[in-house]
Amino acid sequence: MPRFRLGSNLKTLAFNIGLKDNNDQIITQRRNIVAGKRTVLIDSNPGRNAQTFGIARELGTDLDLIHEPSVGVVGNKGDSQCYMGVQTKVETIHQRLNDRIGQEEGQLRFRLVQPEYTIATSDGMRNGTREMRYSLIGREVTNDALCEHLSASGLEGTIAVVACDKPPVGTMAALLEHDRPGIIMSDGPIRPGADSQTGEAIDIITGFQIAAHPDEEHKRRIACEACPGIGSCGGIFTYNTMQTFIGVVGLQPLEMVSPPSDDPRRLQEFPDKLIDHLAHMIAHDITPRKIVTSQSLRNAMIVSMAIGGSTNVMLHAPELARAAGYEDFARDVMSPEEFNHLSEHVVPVLLDARPFGRYSMVDIDEKGGVQVIVRELMDAGLINGDTLTCTGETLAEQIQRLDPPAPDGTVIYSVAKPFKPTGGLRVLGGNLSPEHSAVLKLAGVEGGLEDNVFTGRARVFDSETELLDTLANDPDSIENNDMIIVRYEGPAGAPGMPEMLDSTSRITTLCREKNIVVGLMTDARFSGGSVGLVIGHVGPEAALGGPIALVEDGDEIIVDLNSNELNCSQLFDGATWESREERWKETVNDHGGQHPSVNEANTRLLHRMRHLAVSAAQGAGMHPNREFMVIDCRDPEPSNFKIKNRHRGG
């Protein structure tokens, strides 16, 4: 794995140079040299200055500040309710910045740039369709777009308002790569809907789980009532998993994670706090890479276990670690072995939350917010409070200032008396997952494990479309103890590694109705709202000849959580493996070097993903020649902190 060292770790160097313009007037120009790169300079050239003066004039800012460090606000946009609150918050923060910029005492001497937005697709609207392939790619597009904006604009300070789950990760990765002061605020979760007939709290997952319901009017009513208002998915799905992750890792103030999108604090209180924090970061040269360290990433992984978070965190965490300069997540942050040990023996689940429980992030906010969870874990000895955060405080100092209440015991549980005794996620190896990339959301398993083992029969589908057709038209063909295998839907195969909320929801409903147990494993991924015995990110993926491509109908599939392995019994036989692999290679050769089951890459973006996607173990992002690209590699920070659950012996 190559180590890309693009630049050096120079400290910020600011100096003033007197330059003459065409009128022989001396102007002061500030230059910033950061990590071997120099920000774009606005100098005495009247052509370059023309628009700079023009923008300042139109924004109403001081023309004499155009050579000061640039600051700006960015946001995520898309075609769902997740993004509908972003623009208002971006514009509010922008206006507050405008009001506070100037040359008077107490004002901020910055150049203000216009707000910029990235675009993304809607996961909820696209699940179960071929367009869902663009969802994870949206993380890469956001990263690329913001890299262009941050680098070309030379932003010295950035405030980002983020929504949904992939764009926030792309945003954070871009901030880490730019490595100038930057801070993030969640747009906030949506409030749950209410079933008008039963009064039951419902959400988008409710809608997916009744997709096979025979009553069309019932389905329409739930669809109309499930998502009132604005904001991102409200359960502990991927959005709230990653917002909690960003808060714990230190790039978002903890009190800004859980309030709903329409909470007045997001427009009245938080904008000035964000500006204060950003000004402090700029003044003290606190950059994202000083905050996002191997220790803060470990904290965030542990909290993800404790909240029963989405399996997608196992894709996003390596991508964020890469952007922070760590080239091997398993070595530099947390190995699969340590992850499983912590999840199995040390870290419990503290939330009774959707999709495996009853409550949403709105309920968590009413009980004190994610800061309650963080303090509870810190007091129990499970996370390191010495890590730096965007507020300029350590994580422990931030918690002390916020002074959250104790767990209420209904929504948020204590470590001493948890909601579930073991962590919510498990990483699997075995002969079907030699990369140790396969991940199971154990918190969402509803049955089928006897003595921590599931044994089933392989039912193979070479696309999600095939599976959805069967579930819609021949559901009775799915039998108890089937292990459904969906392949050729990985990062390169799909391409784009779609999530399978439609499929998993239908299977969950089928299992509940027929009182059977059916598993699903795939080289694709899942929504954070998926429940059941579902295993994603199996790698190497089928399109690249991984073992999942060699499984046949009727094979015995064993999920063993005692050894944390995912195995196909038939593939233990070397002759069987070789015979099947040879047939697979012949098929590939007969079709021009590409298996016929992979999906068409009929846009330039899909084509890039097909040929550039790295493995799920590395985050499934797009990298040149599939070589994992890490800028300014660094080693993990030494620490004397030892993870230990004070409420558990051993």
Which residues are identified as catalytic? 527
User: Is 470 in a helix, a strand, or coil?
Assistant: helix
CA-nearest of 268, 282, 326 to 630 is 326
Check: CB of residue 344 under 8 Å from CB of residue 422: yes
Query: At a CB cut-off of 8 Å and minimum separation 6, what does 49 contact?
Result: 42, 43, 66
Check: CB of residue 71 under 8 Å from CB of residue 155: yes
Residue that has been written with the tokens 């001081």 in this structure? 62
The CA–CA distances, whole Å, from 469 to 79, 250, 490 equal 27, 44, 20
Neighbours of 571 (CB within 10 A): 20
Check: CB of residue 528 under 8 Å from CB of residue 233: yes
* Peptide bond before residue 355 is cis, with ω within 30 degrees of 0: yes
Check: CB of residue 495 under 8 Å from CB of residue 544: no
Residues 566, 488: Cα–Cα separation, whole Å: 18
Check: CB of residue 105 under 8 Å from CB of residue 180: no
How many residues would you count in the chain? 650
Residues 459, 52: Cα–Cα separation, whole Å: 62
CA-nearest of 120, 76, 361, 81 to 223 is 81
The CA–CA distances, whole Å, from 220 to 216, 391, 500 equal 6, 45, 21
Q: At what angle do helices 134-153 and 604-612 cross, to 10 degrees?
A: 90
Residues 374, 400: Cα–Cα separation, whole Å: 11
Token pair for 298: 């470990």
Residues 162, 98: Cα–Cα separation, whole Å: 21
Residues 91, 247: Cα–Cα separation, whole Å: 22
* Peptide bond before residue 495 is cis, with ω within 30 degrees of 0: yes
Check: CB of residue 77 under 8 Å from CB of residue 102: no
User: Is 607 in a helix, a strand, or coil?
Assistant: helix
Residues 273, 289: Cα–Cα separation, whole Å: 21
CA-nearest of 171, 153, 183 to 39 is 153
DSSP letters of 500-567?
-HHHHHHHHHHHHHHT---EEEESSB--TT--SSEEE--SS-GGGT-GGGG--TT-EEEEETTTTEEE
* Peptide bond before residue 46 is cis, with ω within 30 degrees of 0: no
| DSSP run (H or E) holding 298 | helix 294-306
